[in-house]
Structure 1
Amino acid sequence: MHDLAVAIAEADVALSAALGTTTGDYLAVKHVLLRPGELGPVELGRLLGMSSGSATALVDRLAAAGHVVRLPHDHDRRRRVLLVSDGTRARLLAELERRAADIEDLARAYDDDQRRAITSFLGALAARHRARPGPRGRPGP
């Protein structure tokens, strides 16, 4: 599992370099990408273990760089939600598509049942991690 975690961290570093951001900024963009329209600056800050002031500064920086946009919440006029900008989404998807070929090559070595078992295991592992309390007593990201 350690090797997998290291490989994922290395992929995050490579993707952050492709976007021209720090790894921390990329992780914020990744959270917004994976939960479009669900996160505002406060929720993003919680996921990253940041104070609300630090999260606001982070979102300001990402918005100024053109990576995220703030939109009004559908039901709460005071609240803002975050989306990844179209340009950043396109750059990320292009990078991920390049890397997807490697995953497909590795997956060919396994039959359908084995791939389903691997996918099921990794999904259950992720769900268990999310359900456990994080360092501040909240569920992990």
Structure 2
Amino acid sequence: MTSFVPGYRPSASLDALQELVDLAAQVPHDVARKAGLSVSELHSLRHLMAAPMGPVELAKALGVTSAASSGVVDRLVARGHAKRLPHGQDGRRTEVRVTDSGRREVFALLAPMFAKLAEVDSSLDDDERVVVERYLRGAIAAMQAVT
């Protein structure tokens, strides 16, 4: 497939990047399964941990319909992982917030990965970290070129 791309030469770094991309696509499925959640529920918790939002905003963040988002929120609320509250500035709207239970669920499953990533990062010196960041930013830009 890559033989038609001018200047593309396979390398260990490109192989490792492809492996990372493939694994990053699989991790949410595995984590959601272990938690007994759907992938949409897991991604919803991630978005809600960043900031509370309304169901319509959550739908946009997930790339699903408002009805689908509402179903996800219903399931998270039923599990005690999220709660609906009146919006602080618009009483006609609701806001969805992650609960401590939801936060604990996500952290318990992802903490080992983040600990290992922190360990790998701390093994780099500042100069190495600059090179790694430049490579990763370039890979991000390459992927954004097709989105």
Q: TM-score range by the shorter chain?
A: 0.7 to 0.9
* CA apart distance, 1:87: 0.9
Distance 1:101 1:49, change over 3 A: closer
What is the root-mean-square deviation in Å for CA atoms of aligned residues? 2.7
Kindly indicate whether residue 125 of structure 2 is the aligned counterpart of residue 111 of structure 1: yes
Q: Aligned partners of 2:88, 2:18: CA distance in 1, in Å?
A: 41
Match of 1:27 in 2: 43
- Give the SS at the match of 1:75: coil
Q: Which amino acid counterpart does residue 76 of structure 1 have in structure 2?
A: D
The answer to whether the Cα contact below 8 Å between 1:40 and 1:82 also exists between their aligned partners in 2 is yes
In structure 2, stretches of 5+ residues that fail to align are 1-16
Residues 22-74 of structure 1, C-alpha deviation per residue, up to 9 Å, x if partnerless? 2222122222122x22x210011112222222221221122112221112211
Kept in 1, the 8 Å contact 2:84–2:95? The answer is yes
Alignment of 1:40 with 2:54, yes or no, is: yes
2:31 maps to: 15
Q: Quote the offset at 1:92 in angstroms.
A: 1.6
Counterpart of 2:43, as a letter, is: L
Q: Is the 8 A contact 2:40 2:72 kept in 1?
A: no
Could you tell me how far apart the structure 2 residues matched to 1:118 and 1:13 are?
27
Greater mean deviation of Cα atoms: 69-78 or 48-57: 48-57
Who wins on radius of gyration, i.e. which is larger?
Answer: 2
1:120, CA displacement in angstroms? 6.2
Question: Counterparts of 1:1-141 in structure 2 under 5 Å?
Answer: 1-34=17-50, 36-37=51-52, 39-119=53-133, 122=136, 125=140, 129=144
Provide the rounded CA distance (Å) in 1 between the counterparts of 2:126 and 2:86: 43
Work out the percentage of aligned pairs sharing the same amino acid. Answer: 30
TM-score by length of 2: 0.70
Q: Which moved more, 1:61-70 or 1:105-114?
A: 105-114
Greater helix content: 2
SS at match of 2:37: coil
TM-score of the pair, normalised by structure 1? 0.73
Counterpart Cα distance in 1 of 2:64 and 2:108: 30
Cα separation, 2, equivalents of 1:121 and 1:75: 43
